[in-house]
Structure 1
Amino acid sequence: MELSKLPLVLLLILNIHSEHCTEIPKAKVSIKPDQHVFRGETVTLRCDIDGDGATSWKYNWYKDGLDNVFSELQEHIFSPVTESDAGKYSCYGTEREGSRNSQLSDAVTLTVSDPKAEVRVSPQKWLSEGDPVTLICEVNGSSTGWTFSWYTVVSDYSGHYQLLSDSSRGAGGNYTVSSAALKHTGVYVCRAETDTPVIYTTFSNTQPLWVTAVIVSSGVFPPVSLIISPSRTQHFTSVSLSLSCKDQGNSDKWRVRRYTNSGQVEDCSSSLWSSKTRGSTCTNSYTSTADTGVYWCQSESGENYHPVNITVHSGVILESPVHPVTEGDTLTLRCLYPYSTPPNLRADFYKDGSLIQNQTTEMIISAVSKSHEGFYYCKHPERGESLKSWISVTGEISQISVLHTLSSVLTVCPYLLVTVVLIFKCYRMRVTSVEEEETSV
């Protein structure tokens, strides 16, 4: 009976017994290109027998400890390899012209995984106009050997992704925006591929970027505003919530969209979360915690503006402004509870985890500065605490400062003019003097 026909258990017994016989060679399994590969690659299993004098062997391959031999070649190739090919492989050899038999090799594990693309952002997903940001795409923790493509999510439910016009700029795995603009607001995904062999990943996880406007002078505003009623970022459950996009002209060209905590991108007019839609206005008559997410306005051409983070909570909420607060303005915060009359609670107020005011029905900062920017929340000893809300503070160049700068320039201009005239006169006098001297000679 051939040894290759013996049950694998008996071969293991013979293997242990032959360890004391130094003249019996041992088989060894090698896997190329690696023991851990991606689905779609070409993988080669090779069985080598150590020992002098053995020139021709018959090879027997075993997988996962099973008794049956699935191959008798020295090299067994998977092209392409699939997840079902993963397992523990061992081999055994017998001389074709001789009586020697090798020891059974040690088992070597082949792992086959589906290549997964993952995207992350650096330094953060919430940005102000002009901030730099980089989207980083990797396949199972590595960016080498892959070519990357970048997309924005048009509709998550239909799996509709739009390839970025400058997607090739991020082919190396990093898609960098040196100066973020309002139009960069959106939800991004990446995908990777290789040429040899041809392997594609699925689309990555979604990664949002939210770019907020910076007001730099009086009268300068984004092209559209997201109006929220009630006008706050935190809301109770089981109440009505209305959102609308307003601009200086025809507001019907805008639509309200949202990105939920579950990673879904939804359109107000085509989803179930809004019970009423009219033009650019969406009304949700019965809110739930699933309505928590980022809401924004999108134009007909697909540009995104004015993202606002909205949370829906069943308990205590913090009443805070929707829009960034301008330096010098007054900021008022309140702690509200849906089951008390009036809803205002006497509570403690925190900024970035530190207590800043205790036992008050409202916290007022009369002149806001950039130092007041941060995460705020309120806490009641019996009702609990609210979620955290980010309060953004934006600077504004006042008209007085502009007029002061202009007046300073106008004040200096006469002196500059007189100086230029004097220099010119001196130059003309010097030239005239030189010409007279040459004439007299």
Structure 2
Amino acid sequence: MELSQLPLLLLLISNFQSGHTQERPKPKVTIKPDHHVFRGETVTLRCDIYDGGVTSWRYNWYKDSSASVFSERQEHTFRSVTESDAGKYFCYGTETEGSRWSQHSDEVTLTVSVPRADLSVSPQKWLTEGDPVTLICEINGSSTGWTFSWFTETFSSGSRNDYELLSDSSRGAGGKYTVSSADLNHTGVYVCSAERDKTAVYTPYSNTQPLWVTGVSPPVSLIISPSRTQHFTSVSLSLSCEDQSNSDGWTVRRYTDSGRLEDCSSFLRGSQTGSTCTIRSTSSSDTGVYWCQSESGENYHPVNITVHCESVFLFLFISLTVYNQYTGLLNKSRIYCSVTYTTVSNLRADFYKDGSLIQNQTTEMIIPTVSKSHEGFYYCKHPDRGESPKSWISVRGSHSDSQISVLHILSSALAACPYLIVTVVLIYKCCRMRGKTPE
């Protein structure tokens, strides 16, 4: 027999002689308020031993694989729990005025995390004026007991941007901020935060979530030169805010794919003169959504612009004869795939809308009459060149059928004018020559 087993044998003999050979009780550990808590909350561990034959116990608490007792109380409380307090806990007890002891309890796991707010949007971040939209703020690992606040991100000249509390922030108290009818001025970048009721637990600001709202007749238009939404690197790009009455007081701003909110003066290689922003030499980091902001902070006419290196690119061409830069109305769109700096006329590719194949192995796709159903993300795929970046087509309004017909007739008539004039001249000359022929 090993020497380490001798004390246990003597204690068993003592218990047997005293008539206390009944089974040792097993403690039960409880954690309040929960097994998963957030940093800063108060947490209490409790050890209960149910045995009618023992009037008083001395408790021993252990954590993880440590052999040291860190507490001898029935309840142990962490007043402001931290991540270092996370772990596996168990307890056992010894009789205060006797020689009995309990079994070890089962281990319980305490998880401590930093509360994090995650912001999402439903149904989508690109909207047409009048559409409903809901911002959803969720807390990791918890769903109750939170009060929410809602903010828009505002540009700051410093290294970090500021956040402005929404005036009706309280209506998003349940974790959902709903707009039943989106307005043009709902365009912006949003964040949320939350605090735990009756505790001092706060979340940092959530991830940013942009909303882009387009309308039938925005008060200002963002004019892009060259006139397309997909661009290549190392070229000059100009963006101008043009108002129907004047073009003063507008600033070009953007929200990049990396989540940065910037104005033109802070762009790399960017400068603003009046209401025109110029990027001297584009790079892939210039990819993002651009819009016009007024001096009072109103945001209008967001446009998704992508800048990429050599790959397959999707360009959107709009017929200028039926496109109004101020109303945003359009009737015809021509889409084709291009490679690098020049158009490849014989490039056959598959065209997709919102992830669904709509036309395959063709050099171009033409939408003869654009309607609301054509709104969405378009891109093309080529077996060798790869996949183009997605380009959003926003349909902000549509003409009536009669207006479309008239415009098409006028466009056709104008196209036929040169031929008509030549024909009339030839007929006139022919008639004069016949009139001069002697009888």
Q: Matched residues in 1 for 2:368 and 2:398: separation?
A: 17
Q: Matched residues in 1 for 2:196 and 2:380: separation?
A: 51
SS in 2 for 1:200: coil
SS in 1 for 2:70: coil
Amino acid at match of 1:212: T
Report the equivalent of 2:95: 95
Report the equivalent of 1:302: 297
User: Which consecutive unaligned segments of at least 5 residues does structure 1 have?
Assistant: 1-5, 215-220, 402-441
Report the equivalent of 1:135: 135
SS in 1 for 2:248: helix
Q: After the TM superposition, which of the residue ranges 68-77 and 249-258 deviates more from structure 2?
A: 249-258
Deviation at 1:92, TM superposition (A): 2.0
Amino acid at match of 1:99: S
* Aligned 8 A contact 2:145 2:197 in 1: no
* Aligned 8 A contact 1:119 1:136 in 2: yes
- Aligned runs of 1:140-159 on 2, under 5 Å? 140=140, 142-155=142-155, 157-159=159-161
Q: Matched residues in 1 for 2:345 and 2:228: separation?
A: 14
Cα distance per residue 1:52-80 (max 9 Å; x no partner): 21111111111112111111111011112
Deviation at 1:175, TM superposition (A): 0.8
TM-aligned CA distance change 1:23 to 1:372, over 3 Å: closer
Report the equivalent of 1:413: none
Amino acid at match of 1:248: Q
280, 288, 295: which one aligns with 1:293: 288
TM-aligned CA distance change 1:75 to 1:378, over 3 Å: closer
* Aligned 8 A contact 1:351 1:374 in 2: no
Report the equivalent of 1:313: 308
Cα distance per residue 1:331-371 (max 9 Å; x no partner): 2223222255x5555333514232536443x4434333444
Amino acid at match of 1:311: T
Report the equivalent of 1:283: 278
* Aligned 8 A contact 2:379 2:389 in 1: yes
Is 1:121 the counterpart of 2:117? The answer is: no
TM-aligned CA distance change 1:252 to 1:349, over 3 Å: farther
TM-aligned CA distance change 1:123 to 1:371, over 3 Å: closer
TM-aligned CA distance change 1:173 to 1:375, over 3 Å: closer
TM-aligned CA distance change 1:180 to 1:371, over 3 Å: closer
Q: Matched residues in 1 for 2:187 and 2:141: separation?
A: 26
* Aligned 8 A contact 1:28 1:47 in 2: yes
TM-aligned CA distance change 1:325 to 1:385, over 3 Å: farther
- Aligned runs of 1:207-218 on 2, under 5 Å? 207-214=209-216
Cα distance per residue 1:22-45 (max 9 Å; x no partner): 432222221111111111211111
Report the equivalent of 2:391: 389
Report the equivalent of 1:3: none
* Aligned 8 A contact 2:136 2:176 in 1: yes
Q: Matched residues in 2 for 1:71 and 1:249: separation?
A: 76
Amino acid at match of 2:357: S
Report the equivalent of 1:404: none
- Normalising by structure 2, we get a TM-score of 0.78
* Aligned 8 A contact 2:338 2:347 in 1: no
SS in 1 for 2:131: coil
Percent of matched pairs sharing the same residue: 66
TM-aligned CA distance change 1:248 to 1:174, over 3 Å: same
Report the equivalent of 2:406: none
Cα distance per residue 1:384-418 (max 9 Å; x no partner): 442222323344455978xxxxxxxxxxxxxxxxx
Cα distance per residue 1:161-220 (max 9 Å; x no partner): 000011111112111111000000011111101231221111111111110112xxxxxx
Is 1:350 the counterpart of 2:355? The answer is: no
SS in 2 for 1:169: helix
TM-aligned CA distance change 1:22 to 1:109, over 3 Å: farther
- Aligned runs of 1:257-268 on 2, under 5 Å? 257-268=253-264
- Normalising by structure 1, we get a TM-score of 0.78
Q: Matched residues in 2 for 1:41 and 1:49: separation?
A: 27
TM-aligned CA distance change 1:231 to 1:63, over 3 Å: same
TM-aligned CA distance change 1:310 to 1:68, over 3 Å: same
Q: Matched residues in 2 for 1:164 and 1:251: separation?
A: 28
Q: Matched residues in 2 for 1:351 and 1:73: separation?
A: 67
Report the equivalent of 1:204: 206
Q: CA RMSD in A?
A: 2.8
* Aligned 8 A contact 1:326 1:368 in 2: no
TM-aligned CA distance change 1:206 to 1:321, over 3 Å: farther
Q: Matched residues in 2 for 1:57 and 1:285: separation?
A: 79
* Aligned 8 A contact 1:268 1:282 in 2: yes
Deviation at 1:155, TM superposition (A): 3.0
* Aligned 8 A contact 2:214 2:394 in 1: no
* Aligned 8 A contact 2:350 2:382 in 1: no
SS in 1 for 2:297: coil
SS in 2 for 1:199: coil
Deviation at 1:310, TM superposition (A): 1.1
Deviation at 1:104, TM superposition (A): 2.0
Q: Matched residues in 2 for 1:385 and 1:260: separation?
A: 21
Report the equivalent of 2:380: 378
TM-aligned CA distance change 1:351 to 1:26, over 3 Å: closer
Report the equivalent of 1:176: 178
- Aligned runs of 1:35-46 on 2, under 5 Å? 35-46=35-46
Amino acid at match of 1:160: D
SS in 1 for 2:28: strand
Amino acid at match of 1:290: S
TM-aligned CA distance change 1:383 to 1:105, over 3 Å: closer
SS in 2 for 1:30: strand
SS in 2 for 1:375: strand
Is 1:229 the counterpart of 2:225? The answer is: yes
Amino acid at match of 1:268: C
Q: Matched residues in 1 for 2:106 and 2:283: separation?
A: 58
